[in-house]
Amino acid sequence: MNDLVVIVTLLLIFTIIFYFVSNRLVRNRQTKKRIDTFIPLSASTEEVEQVQNNKLLKRFVSSVSRFFEGMKLSSKTKQMLEQAGSSMKEEEFLVVRLFSALGASVSLFLIGIPWYGAIPAAFIGFVIPSSYMKSKRRKRVKLLSYQLVEALGTMSNSMRAGFSFLQTMQLIGKEMPDPIGPEFDRAVREIGMGIPMEDVFTSLLARLPNKELEVVVQAILAQRKSGGNLAQLMDTMEETIRGRIRVLEELKTLTAQGKLSSIIITALPLLMALYLYVVSPTYFEPMLTSPLGMFLLVSGSISLLIGWVLIQKIVRIEV
């Protein structure tokens, strides 16, 4: 009986000590988290070095791009960079593409790939930066649809509280992140400089080619001409965009299998060829040396490209 009392007493003492210690640790962790949130810490040495390296790289690219300043580059490249939210100029982006192509071709040549295999690698390296910018632009424009729901609700509530339309746009520009925040802030500054609102919204749609944003802009411009309750109009647009996003998410779920199939079907022959080249070079050598092997490689690459494009056409459904 005495042993049982001792065991229960020790267990209670241990539980009480554990509770107070864990409670103190949790409070310290929460306090530190709140301090880190409101008072950002100074950058570490590695972060400072990374920032300095990025600045040096940017200066190098900027200095090399001066050789292309007089060239007439595509206006689509400038539009793509603006829509992707990049601060690079057209000539700087051209330098990045050229270095990417040179790096891809030299890397393959150094590991033993013949010179005629480095030519497609140079083309792929030249295309990769453009594909990255297009992907960044697509993600940025897609993120805008989700931000519009929150922005319209905030603007509607602000106007009911007595804010003007420009004040609500300025509020969104200060409070919300990229892309909608900086773009709305830029639109407010352009309106403040005397540019007509129609032209400001037109340039905004050029930088952010989003269908939901286009609907909102057209509704706002129509309301300015005909009059009406703008706060109620924004509530209606918020519900419309929310329903549209719900439909898009359902389509994304239904087409996920097709998108994954396109990735697997396209990557499987490439990975298998790379595996055979590394594991058994003599077995894969006829594909690179004989005319029939090179013809089969080219034919297979073209077939893969056609299949990937067709699958993307099938799974991409416009709403």
Residue that is last in its domain, among 219, 242, 265:
242
**Per-residue model confidence (pLDDT) at position 168:** 93
Mean pLDDT, residues 268-273 taken together: 90
Would you say residue 96 lies in a domain? no
**Is the predicted pLDDT of residue 3 greater than 60, yes or no?**
no
pLDDT of residue 40: 47
Amino acid at 296: L
Strand residues in 209-266 grouped as ranges (E): none
Confidence (pLDDT) at 26: 58
In the structure encoding, which two tokens stand for residue 25, read together?
Answer: 């640790």
260 assigned to some structural domain:
yes
Q: Tell which of 192, 209, 242 closes a domain.
A: 242
Residue 252 scores a pLDDT above 90: no
Q: What is the pLDDT of residue 44?
A: 47
Residue 191 and residue 161 share a domain: yes
* pLDDT in the model for residue 183: 93
Which tokens sit at 264? 């697997």
Average pLDDT over residues 261-267: 88
Residue 144 makes CB contacts below 8 A (sequence gap 6+) with 179, 180, 208, 210, 212, 213
Terminal-to-terminal C-alpha distance of the chain: 76
Residue 2, pLDDT score: 58
Residue 12's pLDDT is: 60
What sign does the dihedral 134-140-143-145 (CA atoms) show? negative
pLDDT tens-digit map of 16-46: 665 565 566 656 666 666 555 555 444 445 5
Q: Is residue 46 part of a domain?
A: no
* Angstrom distance (rounded) from CA 243 to CA 246: 5
* Residue 165 domain flag: yes
Which of 242, 269, 297 marks a domain boundary? 242
Output the CA torsion 297→300→302→304 (10° steps). -130
What pLDDT score does 150 carry?
A: 92
Q: C-alpha distances in angstroms, 126 versus 66, 104, 121?
A: 19, 9, 8
**Average pLDDT for residues 275-288, to the nearest whole number?**
88
Contacts of 68 (CB under 8 A, 6+ apart): 91, 94, 95
Supply 189's token pair. Answer: 């500054």
In a domain, 251, yes or no: no
Instruction: Tell me: do 263 and 238 sit in the same domain.
Output: no
Q: Which pLDDT belongs to residue 119?
A: 81
- Domain assignment of residue 131, yes or no: no
Contact 259, 315 (CB under 8 A): yes
% of the chain residues with pLDDT over 70 = 82
The 10s digit of each residue's pLDDT in 143-184 is 998 999 999 999 999 999 999 999 999 999 999 998 999 999
Q: Residues 126-142: what's their mean pLDDT?
A: 92
Q: Is the pLDDT of residue 9 over 60?
A: yes
Task: Report whether pLDDT(277) > 80.
Answer: yes
Output the DSSP codes for 154-188.
HHHHHHHTT--HHHHHHHHHHHS-TTHHHHHHHHH
Q: What is the mean pLDDT of residues 294-307?
A: 90
Mean pLDDT for 215-222 is 91
Is the confidence at residue 51, as pLDDT, over 60?
no
pLDDT of residue 184: 93
pLDDT of residue 173: 92
Domain count, the chain: 2
Give me the pLDDT at residue 42, please.
46
Structural domain harbouring 232? 142-242
223: domain CATH number is 1.20.81
Residues 193-209 have pLDDT tens digits of 999 999 999 999 999 99
User: What's the whole-number mean pLDDT along residues 73-83?
Assistant: 86
Q: What is the DSSP letter of 307?
A: H
% of the chain exceeding 90 in pLDDT: 33
Nearest CA among 182, 235, 242 for reference residue 212 = 242
The size of the chain, in residues, is: 319
* Cβ 265 vs Cβ 307: under 8 Å: yes
pLDDT bucket at 69, cuts 50 / 70 / 90: confident
Residues 264 and 216 in one domain: no
